[in-house]
Each structure stands twice: as C-alpha cells, then as structure tokens.
Amino acid sequence: MAKQLNRPAPGQVIVTSLHSEVQRSYLEYAMSVIVGRALPDVRDGLKPVHRRILYAMYELGLTPDRPFRKCARVVGDVLGKYHPHGDQAVYDALVRMVQTFSSRYPLLSGHGNFGSVDNDPPAAMRYTETRLASIGYDALLGEIGEATVDFTDNFDSSQQEPIVLPSQLPNLLLNGSSGIAVGMATNIPPHNLSEVVDGLIALIDHPALSDIDLFALIPGPDFPTGGEIISTEGIYEAYRTGRGSIPMRGVSTFEEIQPGRGRQRRSAIVVTELPYQVNKAGWIEKIADLVNSGRIEGIADIRDESDRDGMRVVIELKREAQPQLILNALYKMTPLQSNFGAILLALDQGQPRQMPLRSLLEAFLNFREQTLTRQYRHELDKAESRLQIVEGLRTALANLDAVIDILRHAADGTTAKVQLQDQLELSDRQADAILAMPLRRLTGLEQKNLQTEHQELSARMSQLNQLLGNRKELLKALKKELRSLKKKIWRP
C-alpha cells in the first residue's frame, strides 16, 4: 500500500526552518536523479530508461527473428508501463542504442533514419522501426525471469519490472555510458568484447592477478568510430583510480591526388577515422572557419567523400604547403585530436561509486555468480518436482492392474486419489498426475519415453547439485558461457 501523507489540519501551521526544508527537498531530488535516471548500474550497465526500453520490447516479443515494430509503439509502451517521463527522452535513449557510431555493440536493430555521425537528427518515431539485436536479446534478456533477478512494482503498482537485467556480459564496459547527475557525472568508454572476456576469465583463474597483467589483456578502450589513442598514461590512470584523461586522434594519411583533368597532382590529407563523439560536419565547418580567418594557411579545398562504406574527408593542400605542419595545426586547433575524460562511476548496491577497472570486472563476476546460482537452484527445484511426477507415473504403469481396479470401483475422484496414495504409497502430486494421465501413456513407447526422461532428469539433477555444491565447477561453467558468447557475438 502507498504510504499515507500526514496532512496538516485546516488552519494548522507547521513551523520549520527554510534551510533544513530546502536541504531535505534538494537531497531527495538529487538521490532521485542519481539512482533513478542518470547513472548506470554496475551489474547490467544500464540506466533505468534503457532497462525499461529493453524489457518493454521483450514483452512485445520483438526478438531478433521477429519483424520490426514502429518505435512509436515501443515508446508508448515504455511510457505507459514503466517510465512516466517525456516521450522524446525515451526515443533519444532508444536511438542511441541503435546507432553504430554511438554504441560499440548496439543492443537494438533499426530500420529507417536513426541519425548520422554528422549530427543529423533521426526521423520521427512514427517513421522508424526497431527490434532487439542479437546481443541485446541473448546477453541481456535470455534468462529474464523471477528465478534469476528480482522484480519490483512500477510507478503505479500496475506492473512488475526487473530491478536489473540478468546480463551475461559486462555491458557497462562493452558499450560504455555517459550521464550527468547532481554533483557527479559518469563517462565510461566502450571496450572490445574479446579483450574484456579474456580479462574476466583471467580474473576467475587468478583473482590476485596484477594490474600490469590485467591491463595487458585489456589495453584500452575500443571506440566505435575508430581513431587512435596516442598515450597510455591516461588509460592506466583511469583503470587504476577510476578517473583519467585519454588523448585521441583521428586516423589520417598523406596522398597525392589529381584535382581535375589537366591540373597538376597535389598533396592531400585524407582522414578516414575521427575521435569518438566528434561531429564530422561540425569538424569540417571548424576547419573552414580557421582557413577563412587565416589561422590555418595552405589548404586549397575540403571535400567530404564519405559513403555508407566508410569515412573519407579529403583536405586538398596548396602546392607550397607542408602537409605535416598543416596536420599538426589541425591536431592543435580542431577536434581531430581531443581528450576523452574517463570517469568510471556507476551504482554499486544502490550507491554511486567511482571504481577502478578491476572493481568493475569483479562486481560483474559477483553478480553473474549470484545469477547463475539462482538459475541453477530454480532449475533443480523444477527438475526435482518433475522427477517426482515421472516416478509416480512409472509406479502406476508398473502396477497398472491395481490402478485400473481402484479407478473402476472408486465412487469419485477424491476416493480414487486417497486409495492410490494408500495402496501405492504416492504423494499428493503424484496421485493427481496419475488421475490426469491420458490413455496414450499406457503404450509401450510412452513408457519408454518416461524411462528416458527419468534418466535425463536424474543426470541433470546430479550435474546441478555438483554446480551448486562446488564453486570451482560453477566458475568453470561461467568461463564456458563467456567463451561461447565471445565466439557468437564478437566482431573486430
């Protein structure tokens, strides 16, 4: 039930100091923004809006093998069931999960215009379509259910939503996250799946693994737009302390080009990759402004020859220009060289914490171990329940004449159930299963199927008991799962 407010009586005045009232109200607002909106959870790497979008799409059945659905339908479901905020904020979050230049491993697939690296806006939600991508479904929602994670009431207690998704991969590191809360911010860079999985497996095998060895397995971020990192000091500082500045550069080459028929060949700087989150159109406009103002000399023309296969910006130089000097000027005066301010901050057990790389990986491994334990225990309970019924059916088939005699002479179903329990020493559930057993179960093939099912259930229960009773076996299963997902999902 909702907590009843202690409302003052008509005419009653409650005396309180202004500073304490403002302090209390602002603290409540700050915690709401920190926990409920701006910061990701260290376990599944998602903010509440992203988690609600994924779960709403799962409920709509938008799996990777199903047709695309209008984004407006998805946004409507998210707003009506789980996230009572602005529709544009929800759609913006959905769009970023589709964009290949924003997410290293997009969790959603899309049809239509979802924007570009030139900062072009996406089409309206009524025109675009989406569904879950393979990694979003397999690695985040494949095990969803009350057996693996806890659920809570939504904003009006009409629905249940997961507190966290049963992520099988550390999405916080794979896709990164950025957000500004109250008094704190997070800015986590994306990483390569293969490297992160290798780091997780190394920590499972060697919990006391040194930072040097860990950083050798995960040498740095892996940005979706490419580019190159020119110094490792900022990376290691961020990985050790949770905060650091990572210098990035675009990838460029010097080429000799033919400007036109009958004209002499000229030198050119060709840029094929930009630093992460750099707007290509804005960067070209910045260069043009610098050329027009005379701050950079020696550039004759700038052409954007990018297409859907890749990026290619040609900066044509004058004949007397020195390419390296102009490239250095571009590094200095434009975002062709920029810094990524890494802040590895996330919610850990409901509290915002700035965490080094090792702590992020260990937090995910602890969560995954707990999730697997809950999943295996639930599966064991179901197997035990089913095995009990199968044993009851086999007992009935072994004493078929006695069962038929009881059913023939019993006055009603209740009497038959009691006599079955007494004469064959069956449980209440076994007796119910026998009474509900169809006649086809009396055939020889069905009896053989019951025997096969009994053997399979017994073997699986033995395996589950070993996993739950031996942590080494559980961790071995976790490593096998990580390797399988790496092989299935990883792309260079």
Active site residues: 127
Q: What is the distance in angstroms between the CA of the first residue and the CA of the last residue of the chain?
A: 51
Core vs surface per residue 113-131: b (16+ CB within 10 A) or e = ebbebeeeebeebeebbbb
Residues listed for the chain: 492
The tokens for 102 are 């924003």
Residues 356, 239 contacting (CB under 8 angstroms): yes
Interhelix angle for 444-469 vs 357-398, to 10°? 150
| Burial label, 480 (beta-carbon count in 10 A; 0-12, 13-18, 19+) | exposed
Distance of CA 264 to the CA centre of its chain: 53
Q: How far is CA 317 from the centre of its chain?
A: 45
